[in-house]
A and B are shown apart, each in its own frame.
Chain A
C-alpha cells in the first residue's frame, strides 16, 4: 500500500508516516503544494492525506486536479480549519473523508484503513482477525462461524482495534472515537474499561483468543500472535 502525506508541518508528517509504516504502508511525504502536484502526476497512491492549508496553495485545488485527471486515489482531508464549508466542498470535490486537526494517529489510521478497504478490495466487506470475522456491511461479528452478540460500542471498539492492529491505542483516542468531542474526563476511562472487559469476555467465551491487551492502564492493543 502506498500513501502520500501532503503536509507542510514536518513534525506532524513524520509522526503520521512512522505510525502508518507500522501497518506496512509505504509513506511518501510532500511538504508543499508543488511537490505534491509533481508526486501525484508521477504515480498513483492508495490514499492521499491532504492538508488544505499549504504554504504555496490550497489542498482543494490539488483535489480538483486529481479528479480532473480521473485518478482514483483515495483522499483523506486533514485540516486545521475545522469548517463546515471546507468539509462540504472537500467531500463534494470527491474526497473520501475529512478529519480535523488535532487528531489521534489511531483515528487517522482507522480512517485511512477504512478508505483503503473500500477502494482497494472492492466488494470485500470482511476483516479477518485470526478466528474473528467482522462483517462491516452487516455490522456483525462471528467467531469460528458462530455469530457474536455485541453492543454497538463493543462493535465500534473491535473495529477500531482491528484498524489499528498491533499498535497501542490510547484511552483518550478511544474516548474520542466512541463519544466524539465529548468531555467526559476521567469518567470516560471507566466506561471504556467496562466496554473492553465485556468485549474480551464475549470473545473469549466464544472461543476466540484474548487478543486485546491492556498497556499499563493507559491504552489497549490488539495483538494477533
Chain B
C-alpha cells in the first residue's frame, strides 16, 4: 500500500468519525436550544392564563389555532406541572404524525380544580433542524472531498523528492560514474535523506574504485617481477651443463609462471572491461569470427577427436573487436577444454542468440556459481576467470548469459538484445567432424 493511500485512508476515516460524532452532538444541542425556546413560549402562555385566573377567577376561553391550542379539563386531584412531547395524527396537515410540545399545569377556579393543557406545534423546530442538518451534511461532504484531493495532490508533490531519490537508488550503478540527481527540497527529513544517500553512495563508489585500482595496480606491479623470472628461466635453459632433472624442475617453474601470467592478465582484462576501457565498437560479423576461431582451435579439436556441429546464420553485432575475440575464445576454448574424448561441440548462431553446447563431465561445483570469479573444477588448469570475463563482457553490452545442463550437455547461451542489427543473406555453413588443415 502506498504511503499516501494509507495516510488518506486514516485521515479520511478519522475525519468522518469526528464529523459524525460532531453532527450528532450538534443535532442534540440545536434541538435542545429550540425546545428550550418552545418551552419559554409555553411558559409565557402559562403565566398569562394564571394571571387571568387570578384576576378574574374564571377560566379563559379555550382556543385552538394552528400553532397553539389551549384546553381545560376538570381534574379531581391537581396534576403535577410537566412538559411532554406528543405526536398526533393530523388530517388537515398532510395526513402525517406531527410532533407537539405540551405544558400541563393545574389551576383552581372557584374552588374547582382544572388541568390546563397548552399545546404548541414542533413543526417549525423540526423544519429548522432539518435544514441545519442538511447544510451540515453538505459541508461535511465538501470538506471530505477537499481533504482527499488536498492529500492526493499535496502528498504527491511533497513526496516527490523522496520518490526521486528512490528512483536514483534503483538506477544506481557502481560501474557508471553518474551520481544520483536530487530535487532541491525544503523538507528537512528529505534533505537529510538526500545527504545520507549522497554520502553513502560516494563512500561505496570510493571503496569500489579503490578496490579496482588496487587490482589494477597489483596486477601491473606483478608484471615486472614476472618478466624477470621468465627471462631468467629463458636464460637458464640455454645452459648446456643442465641435466635432465633440472629440466623437469625448470619446466614446472615455467608452467607455474605461465599460470601466474595468465591469471594476472585475466584480472587486468576484467578490470579494464569493468572500467569500460573498450568503449570503441564497430560492427562485427560473428559468423565469420566463429569460423576463424574454429580454424584457430583446430589443434585441440583434432587431438580430442571432437565433432563440431555448427549451425550458423549471419549475425552482426556492434562490439569491440578485441572483446569479441576474447568472448569467442573463452567460450569455444572452454567447450573444447572441458570436453571429453570423441565428444561433441554444437554451435547455434542466430540474430538473437549464440548457443554453445558441449559434452563433458558434470560440474563439480554449484552451477549457480559458474560465472563467479575463480570458480573451476578441481582438475582444471584454467584460471577460473574465463567465464567471469565472458559474463562481464555480456553485462557490458546488456546481453544475457545463461548456463543450463540438458541431456548431458553443458549449454551456454548468450541472448543478444532483441533488436539485433542483423542483416544479410540467409546463408548457412555446416561443418561436421574434423576440419581440414588449411594452408595459408
Contacts and interface: CB of A to CB of B under 8 A. Distances in A.
Interface of A: 9, 11-12, 15-16, 18-19, 22, 80-84, 100-106, 139, 149-153, 167-168, 170-173, 176, 179, 181-187, 190-191, 194, 215-219
A2 to B, nearest CB: 21
A82 B235 CA distance: 24
Nearest to B234: A105
Contacts of B439: 149-152
Given A101-B227, A167-B238, A216-B247, A152 B438 contact: yes
Q: In the complex, which of the residues B223, B232, B272, B383 has the most CB atoms of chain A within 10 Å of its own CB atom?
A: B223
17 contacts: A11-B231, A19-B231, A84-B278, A101-B224, A101-B227, A104-B230, A105-B231, A149-B439, A150-B439, A153-B299, A167-B238, A172-B258, A183-B262, A183-B381, A187-B300, A191-B303, A194-B299
B256 to A, nearest CB: 10
B353 interface: no
Contacts of A184: 300, 337
Contacts of B229: 102
Contact of B235 (A105, A149, A171, A183): A105
B166 interface: no
Contacts of B220: 80-81
B303 A218 contact: no
B226 interface: yes
A15 B228 contact: yes
B247 A170 contact: no
Contacts, number: 125
B237 A168 contact: yes
A218 B231 contact: no
B117 interface: no
Contacts of B299: 153, 191, 194
B188 interface: no
A173 B244 contact: no
Contacts of A104: 230-231, 234
Give the size range of B's interface with the partner: 35 or more
Interface in B200-244: 220, 223-224, 226-235, 237-238, 242, 244
Q: Of B227, B228, B268, B322, which is in contact with the most chain A CB atoms at under 10 Å from its CB?
A: B227
B302 to A, nearest CB: 9
B329 A182 contact: yes
B333 A170 contact: no
Given A12-B224, A12-B231, A172-B255, A219 B237 contact: yes
B350 interface: no
A16 B224 CA distance: 13
A80 B223 contact: yes
A106 B278 CA distance: 30
A191 B439 CA distance: 17
A90 B277 CA distance: 18
Contact of B268 (A82, A152, A186): A82
Contact of A187 (B228, B247, B303, B322): B303
Given A102-B223, A191-B300, A218 B254 contact: yes
B386 to A, nearest CB: 8
B244 A216 contact: yes
A84 B261 CA distance: 18
Given A102-B227, A187-B300, A219-B237, A172 B254 contact: yes
B89 to A, nearest CB: 105
Contact of B250 (A12, A81, A218): A218
Given A15-B235, A105-B235, A218 B230 contact: no
A22 B262 CA distance: 29
Contacts of A216: 242, 244, 247
B396 to A, nearest CB: 16
A217 B440 CA distance: 29
A164 B300 CA distance: 26
Contacts of A18: 235
Nearest to B254: A172
B235 A19 contact: yes
A132 B303 CA distance: 30
Contacts of A9: 224, 227-228
Interface in B360-404: 381-383
